[in-house]
């Protein structure tokens, strides 16, 4: 018998399979998602299309979603493979947004527990949150994942904008190679 702290892996894979089927049947504007390997429901490949009227417009940004075995009790990790320049994305591509942080109280006091991971979140809600992050005119600089990008936003927003637009252009070119 499994405990709530260690859910049945079969129910996890059923939930992930259901979400994959739903996204395949009813695609959502702005991204596509699928499995990296058909035999592994815990690793997803994602393509986010740069949101219109943003610095990322026209870009194609590849990322990976890695789900833990106790999903949906714990959040997946998301990492961009395409180079990104954003205060809330670590230099190695790991996305730092509230809904991907483990449930419970934030030890640093930046986030309300209701902003953090909840088992009701889906792949769709995660990716829409990331698109919202990229669409924001002014990124959250309170606790940056990329300190250099945050500093650039504060000190030279025009330089930041040029760098992001260049990355978006390059990502579009690479998507067609």
Question: Measuring CA to CA, how many Å separate 156 from each of 145, 148, 149, 162, 177?
Answer: 18, 11, 10, 10, 32
- Give the active site residues: 96
Among 114, 77, 117, 87, residue whose Cα is nearest residue 101: 117
Q: Which two tokens stand for residue 23?
A: 């996204």
Q: How many residues are given for the chain?
A: 177
Q: Are 148 and 135 in contact (CB under 8 A)?
A: no
Strand 31-37 vs strand 60-66: parallel, antiparallel, or unpaired? unpaired
Tokens 């986030």 locate to 111
Question: Measuring CA to CA, how many Å separate 108 from each of 75, 78, 105, 113, 143?
Answer: 19, 21, 9, 12, 10
Distance CA 82, CA 118 (A): 27
């Amino acid at each position: 018998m499994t405990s709530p702290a260690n859910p049945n892996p079969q129910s996890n894979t059923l939930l992930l399979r259901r979400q994959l089927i739903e996204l395949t049947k009813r695609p959502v504007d702005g991204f596509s998602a699928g499995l990296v390997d058909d035999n592994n429901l815990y690793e997803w490949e994602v393509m986010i299309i740069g949101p219109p009227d943003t610095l990322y417009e026209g870009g194609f940004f590849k990322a990976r979603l890695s789900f833990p075995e106790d999903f949906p009790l714990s959040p997946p990790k998301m990492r961009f493979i395409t180079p990104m320049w954003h205060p809330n994305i670590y230099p190695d591509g790991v996305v730092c947004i509230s809904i991907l942080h483990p449930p419970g109280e934030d030890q640093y006091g930046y986030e309300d527990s209701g902003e953090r991971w909840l088992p009701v979140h889906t792949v769709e809600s995660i990716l829409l949150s990331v698109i919202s992050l990229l669409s924001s005119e002014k990124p959250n600089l309170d606790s940056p994942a990329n300190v250099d990008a945050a500093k650039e936003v504060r000190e030279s927003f025009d330089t930041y904008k040029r760098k992001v637009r260049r990355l978006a252009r390059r990502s579009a070119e690479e998507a067609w190679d």
